[in-house]
Amino acid sequence: MASFDSPIGKRKIQSGGMRELTVPDETAPPPQQRQRTFESSGPLFDEAELRDFQARMQPAPQQIPVREISEVEKQILDGKRLKREGRERLSEGARRRVEMLIDMSKMTRDVSLSGQLYRLQSLTSKELREVMVATAEFDGSVQMVFENRKQILARSLVIIHGTDFGQFLNSTDLRDRIDIIEELDHALLVRLFNEYVILAKEVQDKYTLKTEQEVVEVLEDLKK
């Protein structure tokens, strides 16, 4: 028990132990103010900087060198693909034999005009089909005659002014052939087309069965 002694008297005081006092820090802002201060200061990290940091932490992708495919490898891959699809290409030798057969089966007709040589050749079934497709949109119109003549001569004319048509134009493109045909004199085109009609009739006569004996022989061959 604590005692108190003074000139006016003495007194004993019941003591319950020392009390703990909490003294607030006057320099620190209140909790709510600290929260507002933190919120107003903005995020600690900028989003763009954070993404850039994460990107730098990712391992760099492995660079795989790209090798250019050679022409030979491309042909091999194309050949394998066509074989899988059942559209295998002809070998070079077979293709040359087919071209020779086509050339041998074609007939030609030479025309001399003003001392210059023009040569026409018969057309294949594929070429005639191309002519029909190209002229179909003009069917029944005035342009049909002109378009049909132009398309046929562009494919049939192989020598012009004594020179190979491709060398004459320095081009093998059909569009270039058609363009030059359109620029030729109308009378010249009429003459060349009439010569082609004669050639087409000669080809038809060559392969047409003319006698009864020929018809019988063909029928017998079909029965074998």
Mean pLDDT of 203-223: 69
Same domain flag for 90 and 181: no
Q: What is the pLDDT of residues 76-103, one digit of tens each?
A: 677 667 666 666 555 666 555 555 555 5
Give dist(CA 120, CA 152) in Å, integer. 10
- The answer, yes or no, to whether residue 40 has pLDDT greater than 80, is no
In this structure, are 181 and 158 located in the same domain? yes
Same domain, 120 and 202: yes
Between CA 214 and CA 224 the distance in angstroms is 16
Look at residues 105, 126, 153 and tell me which one is the last residue of a structural domain.
Answer: 105
Give yes or no: residues 115 and 203 share one domain.
yes
Instruction: List pLDDT tens digits, range 176-205.
Output: 999 999 999 999 999 999 999 999 999 888
The range of the structural domain enclosing residue 99 comes to 73-105
Number of domains in the chain: 2
Dihedral, CA atoms, 141, 146, 152, 158, nearest 10 degrees? -170
User: Do 90 and 133 share a domain, yes or no?
Assistant: no
Q: Which letter, b or e, does each residue of 20-42 get, where b requires 16 or more Cβ atoms within 10 Å of its Cβ?
A: eeeeeeeeeeeeeeeeeeeeeee
User: Is 43 domain-assigned?
Assistant: no
| Residues contacting 156, CB < 8 A, separation 6+ | 120, 121, 122, 123, 196, 199
